[in-house]
Amino acid sequence: MSKKFDVAVLGATGTVGQAMIEILSEEKFPINRLYPLASHRSKGESVIFNDETLVVDDVETFDFTKVQIALFSAGGSVSAKYAPIAARAGCIVIDNTSHFRNDDDIPLVIPEVNPDDIQYYKNRNIISNPNCSTIQMLVALKPIYDVAGISRINIATYQSVSGTGKAAIEELARQTIDSLSGRDVTSEVYPMQIAFNLIPHIDAFEPNGYTKEEMKMVNETRKILNDKEIKVNPTAVRVPVFFGHAEAIHIETKKKLSAHEAKELLSKAPGVIVKDKLENHGYPSPVTEASGKNAVFVGRIREDISHEFGLNFWVVADNIRKGAALNSIQIAQILVRDYL
Active site residues: 132, 245
Name the segment binding ligand A2P (CB under 6 A); options: 11-19, 93-101, 176-184, 233-241.
Answer: 11-19
Cα–Cα distance between 61 and 297 in angstroms, integer?
41
Nearer to ligand A2P, 97 or 175 (CB): 97
Q: At closest approach, how far in Å is the CB of 134 from ligand A2P?
A: 18
CB of 28 to ligand A2P, least distance (A): 24
Nearest approach in angstroms of CB 168 to ligand A2P is: 8
Residue number with CB closer to ligand A2P (15 or 159): 15
Site membership for ligand A2P, residue 107 (CB under 6 A): no
> Whose Cβ is closer to ligand A2P: residue 62's or residue 313's?
62
Report if residue 14 touches ligand A2P, rule: CB under 6 A: yes
CA–CA dist 47, 289 (Å, integer):
27
| Residue 41 CB, nearest approach to ligand A2P (Å) | 4
| Sole binder of ligand A2P in the list 74, 138, 265, 295 (CB under 6 A) | 74
Residue from 111, 163, 165, 323 binding ligand A2P (CB under 6 A): 165
Q: What distance, in Å, lies between the first and last C-alpha atoms of the chain?
A: 15
**Candidates 7-15, 23-31, 177-185, 194-202 — which segment interacts with ligand A2P by CB under 6 A?**
7-15
Residues 156 and 113 sit within 8 Å (Cβ to Cβ): no
Stretch that binds ligand A2P, among 71-79, 201-209, 231-239, 307-315 (CB under 6 A): 71-79
CB of 179 to ligand A2P, least distance (A): 23
Give the residue, chosen from 42, 136, 319, 330, that forms a contact with ligand A2P under the rule CB under 6 A: 42
Q: Which is nearer to ligand A2P, 38 or 218 (CB)?
A: 38
Q: Give the one residue of 8, 78, 144, 230 binding ligand A2P; rule: CB under 6 A.
A: 78
Selected from 33, 41, 183, 254, the binder of ligand A2P by CB under 6 A is: 41
Residues 171-210 that bind ligand A2P (CB under 6 A): none
Shortest gap between Cβ of 73 and ligand A2P (angstroms)? 7
Part in contact with ligand A2P (CB under 6 A); list of ranges 37-45, 111-119, 197-205, 317-325: 37-45
One of 166, 174, 263, 302 touching ligand A2P (CB under 6 A): 166
Cβ-based nearer residue to ligand A2P, 166 or 293: 166
> Which of 292-330 are b and which e, b meaning 16 or more Cβ less than 10 Å from the residue's Cβ?
ebbbbbbbbbbbeeeeebbbbbbbbbbbbbbbbbbbbbb
3-state helix/strand/coil string of the chain: CCCCEEEEEECCCCHHHHHHHHHHHHCCCCEEEEEEEECHHHCCCEEEECCEEEECEEHHHCCHHHCCEEEECCCHHHHHHHHHHHHHCCCEEEECCCCCCCCCCCCECCCCCCHHHHHHHHHCCEEECCCHHHHHHHHHHHHHHHHHCEEEEEEEEEECHHHHCHHHHHHHHHHHHHHHCCCCCCCCCCCCCCCCCCECCCCCECCCCCEHHHHHHHHHHHHHHCCCCCEEEEEEEECCCCCCEEEEEEEEECCCCCHHHHHHHHHCCCCEEECCCCCCCCCCCHHHHHCCCCCEEEEEEEECCCCCCEEEEEEEECCCHHHHHHHHHHHHHHHHHHCC
- Summarize as ranges the residues that interact with ligand A2P (CB under 6 A): 11-15, 17, 38-39, 41-42, 59, 74-75, 78, 165-167
